[in-house]
Amino acid sequence: MSDVSWPAAVVAIALIAMVGAISIAAITVYNVDDALKIWSALSGVVGILTGAFVTYFFTRQSVESARTGSINATTALQAATKLAGELPKDTWNDVKNDPTIQRALEPVEP
């Protein structure tokens, strides 16, 4: 994940440091039972932060790949449409009966 921007990494490190600092402060200042109560109160926040980190840092590449694929597919469809418009009518009628062309021309529902 070398394409992760540095501001996002700084925010992630700051949030981890904050949770760690609160935990260490609770352990050193309060007795064990009170420190565990503080940690249990923070567990929901830690779970949300962990989920956010995983979602953000480990899905960025997949999202970018999907976006690039979508752009490439759209460009290819535009080029094919332009090409089809330039073909003589008889040639287009022959070509559009090809199974591959028929699949490409059918709308895909999400």
Domain boundaries in the chain?
Answer: 6-105
Q: What is the pLDDT of residues 4-57, one digit of tens each?
A: 577 777 877 888 888 888 888 888 898 888 888 888 888 888 888 888 877 877
Lookup: tokens for 23: 């935990």
Of 56, 53, 74, nearest in space to 64 by CA: 56
Read off the pTM. 0.46
Of 21, 17, 15, nearest in space to 39 by CA: 21
Distance CA 17, CA 59 (A): 23
Q: What is the pLDDT of residues 75-85, one digit of tens each?
A: 887 887 787 77
